Amino acid sequence: MESISRRTFSTKLSSGIAGTALLSNMPFACAMDNTSKMKKLGVALVGLGSYSTYQLAPALKDAEHCYLAGIVTGTPKKEKEWMEKYGIPQSNVYNYDNFDTIANNDDIDIVYVVLPNSMHADFSIRAAKAGKHVICEKPMAVSVDECDAIIEACKKANVKLSVGYRMQSDPYTNEVKRLVKEKPFGNVQYVSSDAAYISRGNPGQWRLNKSLSGGGALVNMGVYSIQSNIYGVGMNPISVSAQEFSTRPDYFKNTDETITAQMEFPNGTVAHMFTSHNANANRLFVSFEKGWIELNPCHSYGPLSGRTSKGETIAYPHKSQQMLQMDDFAKHILTGTPNVTPGEMGKRDMIIVEAIYKSISEGGKQISLDLGNMGIVG
């Protein structure tokens, strides 16, 4: 990834190099503040699987307000490799047994929990107890009760909590939010979002093991659709109904393969979502009174792509979403800017996940939701 400072980047954009139709209100505008003079926060990654290896660690090399300070791994041979690659001292290397002693390490400001979903609550709570700010990878946990426990632990420890919703820091997402809020196409009336890929790997992977994942496509990919339906409408839903489909039960033994769901919103908007581990789809379509916008791809690591009914292209130079996400959280800690992915957002989405599973178990019945503005930021 090309390393350009945010200041340079903003300048490039405003001078037109981006060739972009819809560039106003970019989150990069924040580059003009003085946070660049502040200290960088140290992040410890807990769990060194592919997401840490190929997304988070490289993103932390480019981040402005945080850096990779430590690792927590259960695989000893990874320790040396990561220490060398990222210049991490032995004193900042932990395993799952001695993890709690991270409380004594001033190099570590933020603990990012990147473990299988069923371990999120345990390690997030332990990180909070160690006095560290917490990023909990999505889905936040495997139940609403666990989300509550994490939120409570962070409050009690007086540490900040965010969920690893990288899309919330992405400029495409924020452009959708702007168009929904500023209404150049009028009010939203229908939203459809898809988040799906075809799983063909080892059927023994943790994502396909319910005791580790807590669920299948819905908790892995569906939370992206839940999120994009919500920011596509600009409010929380008041009901959801859902359906489950299964065509490869030999492969998807105890996790959901394909789920569709319909959400109803206070303003009458209807949103549909499709999530699957057995199909490719990666889209957000927002229909307004006077036009539409579409992102495709929408939920991938990028580069994303978008267009509008006016024939405009929505395009931004590619930046690591994970870098933007972690920088946003670091800035929240350092300067008090809004936490764009608070724990309440992760809990809200888990309430919806549980309602979707309930609807499916009750034959597609519409389930009421009482979310208020929970998790809606800005």
Which amino acid type is present at position 211?
A: S
The CB-of-320 to a copy of itself minimum distance in angstroms stands at 23
Distance of CA 330 to the CA centre of its chain: 15
Residue 170: name the closest of 288, 54, 298, 55 by CA.
298
- Residue 260 makes contact with a copy of itself by CB under 8 A: yes
Q: CA–CA separation, 306 vs 360, rounded Å?
A: 32
Looking up tokens 């502040």, which residue turns up? 38
Name, in order, each residue with C-beta under 8 angstroms of 366's C-beta and a sequence gap of 6 or more: 239, 240, 241, 264, 359
- Residue 313 makes contact with a copy of itself by CB under 8 A: no
- Residue 288 makes contact with a copy of itself by CB under 8 A: yes
Q: Residue 22 to residues 122, 178, 259, 309: CA-CA distances in angstroms?
A: 42, 10, 33, 13
Instruction: Provide DSSP, 4-66.
Output: --HHHHHHHHHTTTT--S--TT-GGGGGGSSGGGSPPEEEEEE--SHHIIIIIHHHHHH-SSE
Q: Give the total of residues touching a copy of itself (CB under 8 A).
A: 39
The CB-of-226 to a copy of itself minimum distance in angstroms stands at 16
- Residue 289 makes contact with a copy of itself by CB under 8 A: yes
Nearer to a copy of itself, 21 or 30 (CB): 21
Stretch near a copy of itself under the rule CB under 8 A, chosen from 54-62, 219-227, 268-276, 336-344: 268-276
Nearer to a copy of itself, 78 or 248 (CB): 248
- Residue 82 makes contact with a copy of itself by CB under 8 A: no
Instruction: Enter the DSSP assignment of 198.
Output: E
Instruction: Provide DSSP, 86-131.
Output: HT--GGGEE-TTTGGGGGG-TT--EEEE-S-GGGHHHHHHHHHHTT
Nearer to a copy of itself, 233 or 345 (CB): 233
**Pattern 292-311, binding to a copy of itself, x per CB under 8 A?**
x-x-x---------------
Nearer to a copy of itself, 155 or 365 (CB): 365
**Residue 119: HSE in the Cβ half-sphere, 13 Å Cα cutoff:** 12
Nearer to a copy of itself, 337 or 366 (CB): 366
- Report 171-210 residues binding a copy of itself (CB under 8 A): 189-190, 192, 194, 196, 198
**In this chain, which of 43, 114, 219, 281 binds a copy of itself, going by CB under 8 A?**
281
Q: CA–CA separation, 130 vs 44, rounded Å?
A: 12
- Residue 280 makes contact with a copy of itself by CB under 8 A: yes
Q: Which residues bind a copy of itself (CB under 8 A)?
A: 189-190, 192, 194, 196, 198, 241, 243, 245, 247-248, 258, 260, 262, 264, 267-268, 270, 272, 274, 276, 278-281, 283, 285, 287-289, 291-292, 294, 296, 359, 363-366
